[in-house]
Amino acid sequence: MKVTVATKILEANERIALENRRIFGKAGVYVINLMSGPGAGKTSLLEKTLSLNTGLRIGVIEGDIAGSCDAERIEKYGAPVVQINTGGACHLDANMICEVLHDLPLQELDLLIIENVGNLVCPAEFKVGEDIKIMLLSIAEGHDKPLKYPLMFQESSVLILNKIDLAPYIDVDINKIKKDALSLNPNLKIFEVSCKTGEGLSAWIDWLREAALKR
């Protein structure tokens, strides 16, 4: 006999992600899922964000396949931080976040940034309970990335172009990155920064402060 199933295959992840969002909402925490390819500068961006005056109480969840070096870098800035090791999974999912979120003092935070595993493909496919997804791309990765990895750009609300200090030394067309990214996602908010020199970071910090406090 035929039995109706009528279930999304990723229903379990979506259900846990919603529950995570409910918990974050109750604690009044704005949550960002920060994604990029490996080495684009996610942890450096977090270090800069924590060292500049945002006026926000920030917590961090670090996601890596192995190791705790990113969490150790964040700890130096005095922010509450938890390290997740996926042991092989190429992205964070809602269940992994669910298992650690009570290790953070959520009631004392305004903003939680979840630094996802470095990967331009999979993190875009999985909700973890965030308010928004933010994507980081280093200009050294090349101007063909938006059209080659469209889902990341379509799923993100903000695109941060990092390492702009390298522009004079590499063959990259930054305008093409922006044009192609906006063709995939016309509502994408784009920042151009250098975590090394500090250029462009004040605009990012101002936006972040307003977004987190609006919640």
Partner 1 sequence: MHEFSIAQNIIGIIAEQCVRSGHSQIGSVNLRIGRASGIMPDALIFAFDAIKADTIARDAMLNIEHVPVTGLCNDCGSAFTVEDKYILACPDCGSNSFRITAGREMDIIDMDVS
Question: Which chain residues interact with partner 1 by CB under 8 A?
Answer: 1-12, 121-122, 125, 147, 150-151, 182-184, 186
Smallest distance, partner 1 to C-beta of residue 185, A:
9
Nearer to partner 1, 1 or 66 (CB): 1
Smallest distance, partner 1 to C-beta of residue 26, A:
28
The Cα 86–Cα 84 span in angstroms is: 6
Neighbours of 128 (CB within 10 A): 26
Smallest distance, partner 1 to C-beta of residue 126, A:
9
E-assigned strands of 120-188? 132-138, 158-162
Tell me phi and psi for residue 159, to 5 degrees.
-120, 125
Smallest distance, partner 1 to C-beta of residue 31, A:
23
**How would DSSP label each residue in 20-64?**
HHHHHHHHT-EEEEEEESTTSSHHHHHHHHHHS-----EEEEEEE
Per the CB < 8 A criterion, the answer to whether 159 and 181 are in contact is yes
Nearer to partner 1, 176 or 196 (CB): 176
Neighbours of 17 (CB within 10 A): 21
Nearer to partner 1, 120 or 212 (CB): 120
Nearer to partner 1, 68 or 95 (CB): 95
Specify the residue for token string 């522009």. Answer: 167
Smallest distance, partner 1 to C-beta of residue 147, A:
8
Specify the residue for token string 């992600």. Answer: 17
Nearer to partner 1, 12 or 203 (CB): 12
The Cα 176–Cα 167 span in angstroms is: 13
Burial label for 51, CB within 10 Å (0-12, 13-18, 19+), is exposed
Smallest distance, partner 1 to C-beta of residue 176, A:
14
Nearer to partner 1, 122 or 167 (CB): 122
Closest CA to 143 of 155, 157, 159: 159
